[in-house]
Amino acid sequence: MDVTKMSYEEAISKLETLIGELESEECPLEDSINKFKVGMALYNHCNNILKKSEGEVKVILEDGTSSLSDLDALREEEDEYY
């Protein structure tokens, strides 16, 4: 499975499935380690997609083609997501 070719939605769905499998008490240790490795690759892929998307949004907001009068309010609310 080439994680880098997956869409964000596909990767998140697969990650959720892996998490469910890892939470199962029936998963042997060796399988758990392999699933964890795949899960980390999926997590990193999703994180990279989100960072790229965030950068694109910042460029759009900063280039002046979009006007958000409440941009300051949006920035204040950012702390709620961390």
Between CA 27 and CA 19 the distance in angstroms is: 11
pLDDT for 39-76, tens place per residue? 999 999 999 999 999 988 888 888 765 555 555 555 55
Between CA 70 and CA 51 the distance in angstroms is: 22
The CATH number that applies at residue 76 is 1.10.287
Range of the domain at 10: 3-81
pLDDT for 23-41, tens place per residue? 888 888 999 999 999 999 9
- Under DSSP, is residue 2 helix (H, G, I), strand (E, B) or coil? coil
Average pLDDT on 1-10 reads 92
First to last CA, the chain: 31
Total structural domains within the chain: 1
